[in-house]
Structure 1
Amino acid sequence: MMKQVKQISLAKYDPAEILGSLYGPGFLGVKGAFSREWVEELGEDIEKLYEDALKRPGGAVGRGPKRHYVEIHPEDIRGFNELTTHPWVKAVCEAVLGPDYQFVEIGFDVPNPGAVNQTWHRDFPAPVDTTKGRRLNSLAFNLTTVDVEPNMGPFEIAPGTQWDDGSEFDYEMFPPKECYCRYEGRAEQKMPKMGDVSVRSALTIHRGTANHSTKSRPVLVLGVDAPEANNHERHDLQVTKRFYDTLPEELKSHLLCRIVDELEIIEQGHTIEGLMMGEA
């Protein structure tokens, strides 16, 4: 059973700080949200899921050479409840997305040794809510399962670029190379430790960098939408009825999923063609 997580009052987290960070730089993190023991168990689960996905045709989506993304089922990991009900996660979701936020995606990225710099990108085209309404209607939480070191291909983000006009980008996601100097001038590399959690707008221009180490850098991804967003269409969140019945009522109200008798194999749907760059 997943180890207990210390719960902290929502009053600890300031909505103004949360909104300022997500609407400003487009990124926010909290240190030590979970114990190292909790993360070690999560890492064990992800390692096994990754091994299984690589054996299955279409089980892992290439995100560049030596780099994969795998979408999973909530009950595939032991810590889903603890993650989705953590006070910081709840506070961020409520502040940015409103009280009716919905979990729509869970998966993980694995940049392996030999992974190269990704092209600068956002994860999907900016919705009208953002381009016209200047509102963020989705968030992506990330949780590393290892202590990230500089040579392990850290995540790199260009703060403030969630508001960039992407209408002329390739697929409305990939800025032209002449813009790269701007992103490189703003770039911040993130090197979290086990137990840290971060959240970002997936529209903020970012990339994974080259992994020159001998270690992989797995990171869990949790996608959350406001009610009017449609990112669930790119995913297939499903839970069994027996698992659903064990969830607290509060969490059920925030879970946009299919309830099934038996879990079905996920057809990895959120491909990002511009990140393939050859075989994964």
Structure 2
Amino acid sequence: MVQSIGSSKYTATDLDRFAQELNRDGICVIRALFDRKLISEWAQAFEKLFRERQNQPGGLAPRELARYYLTLPWVPPFANVEVFANPTILGVLDRVFAQEYLMVQLGADIPVQGSDYQEIHRDFRPLFSDQIVTPLYALAVNFPLVEVTPENGPFQMARGTHVLPRDEALFKIATGEIPMESFYMQPGDVIIRTPLALHRGSPNRTSQPRPMVVMGYVMHWLHTAKVDLTLQRDYYESLPEKIKQLLRCQVVEQLPKEKVETYVNFKY
């Protein structure tokens, strides 16, 4: 089901290749998809939001030592159709998801100084069991608001582990047969990945937070109680019908001034 809005900056052949990489490796990297000016606007708004959330009880969800998760509010610059309904991103998702899909999450992962390696984990369980390969029924789209370097906590993942039983994949990682790969990124780069592939966060050894935006998309039948989108009615009603159909969201008259994070348990 094609849900893309507008046209992609990449060719159909490029999108086919990204989809093939995603199916095979559990991840694909799209370089320089977003304009750096857009990322700069997000980074400035994020810095202000992060400081505010640090001073709110429950404003940040703890993700082990010196690592946090926060839900981004559906306001400018974060409420941007060119980002969450980006035609290149949706062009890949259209090729990978077997059925209609929905966007259900907009947040950020933030390791700060003092963070450590996370335990290697998945964000979702297999649909049935490890003995039955799970199709790509949920995908995370990540993009950083700063350059991601070896020093500030790059995302690490073991390619191809989304189609392996967990114990087998962990053994192959431990023996070095499958490496834990660090993904270094420039502002504007985008990763699309399956949360079933084994991965972890790494330490941020710098004095600055390393915000990584996550947009979550799932097949329409998946229940996602841990994450939510809340949109103000006037904004929601201004959206084209195709965009409304992409979002699984709560529509309210006025956005709450404070957000208590509930997405705490995330490892499988």
Alignment TM-score, normalising by the size of structure 1: 0.84
Partner-residue secondary structure (3-state), 1:94: helix
Name the counterpart of 1:43: 43
With over 3 angstroms needed to count, the CA separation of the structure-2 counterparts of 1:57 and 1:39, relative to structure 1, is: same
Does structure 2 retain, via aligned residues, the 8 Å contact 1:68–1:111?
yes
Q: Given residue 248 of structure 2, which amino acid in structure 1 is its aligned partner? A: L
Displacement of 1:121: 0.7
Q: Report Cα offsets for 1:135-166 as digits up to 9, x if no partner.
A: 11010000100111211111110011112324
One of 171, 196, 209 as aligned partner of 2:202: 209
- 1:106 and 2:99 correspond: no
TM-align CA RMSD: 2.7
Does structure 2 retain, via aligned residues, the 8 Å contact 1:156–1:206?
yes
Name the counterpart of 1:3: none
Query: Which segment drifts farther, 194-203 or 95-104?
Result: 95-104
Query: Which segment drifts farther, 134-143 or 182-191?
Result: 182-191
Name the counterpart of 1:65: 65
- 1:144 and 2:144 correspond: yes
Displacement of 1:98: 4.3
Does structure 2 retain, via aligned residues, the 8 Å contact 1:74–1:239?
yes
Does structure 2 retain, via aligned residues, the 8 Å contact 1:154–1:190?
yes
- 1:226 and 2:219 correspond: yes
Name the counterpart of 1:250: 242
- Structure 2 distance, partners of 1:248, 1:130, is 40
With over 3 angstroms needed to count, the CA separation of the structure-2 counterparts of 1:253 and 1:113, relative to structure 1, is: same
- Structure 2 distance, partners of 1:60, 1:139, is 23
Query: Which segment drifts farther, 246-255 or 191-200?
Result: 246-255
Displacement of 1:77: 3.4
Name the counterpart of 2:3: none
Question: Which stretches of structure 1, 4 residues or longer, exceed 6 Å deviation after superposition?
Answer: none
Q: Given residue 187 of structure 2, which amino acid in structure 1 is its aligned partner? A: M
Q: Report Cα offsets for 1:222-276 as digits up to 9, x if no partner.
A: 000111222x22212110111102222221110011111112344422212769x
- Structure 2 distance, partners of 1:219, 1:189, is 14
- Structure 2 distance, partners of 1:162, 1:99, is 19
- Structure 1 distance, partners of 2:58, 2:13, is 40
Q: Given residue 250 of structure 1, which amino acid in structure 2 is its aligned partner? A: K
Name the counterpart of 1:154: 154
Partner-residue secondary structure (3-state), 1:118: coil
Displacement of 1:129: 9.1
Displacement of 1:15: 5.0
Displacement of 1:126: 2.1
- Structure 1 distance, partners of 2:203, 2:9, is 39
- Structure 1 distance, partners of 2:120, 2:114, is 18
Does structure 2 retain, via aligned residues, the 8 Å contact 1:13–1:91?
no
One of 255, 258, 264 as aligned partner of 1:263: 255
Within 5 Å, give how 1:80-229 maps onto structure 2: 80-98=80-98, 100-128=100-128, 132=132, 134-166=134-166, 181-182=174-175, 185-229=178-222
Count of residue correspondences = 262
- Structure 1 distance, partners of 2:103, 2:121, is 23
Structure 2 unmatched ranges of 5 or more: 1-5
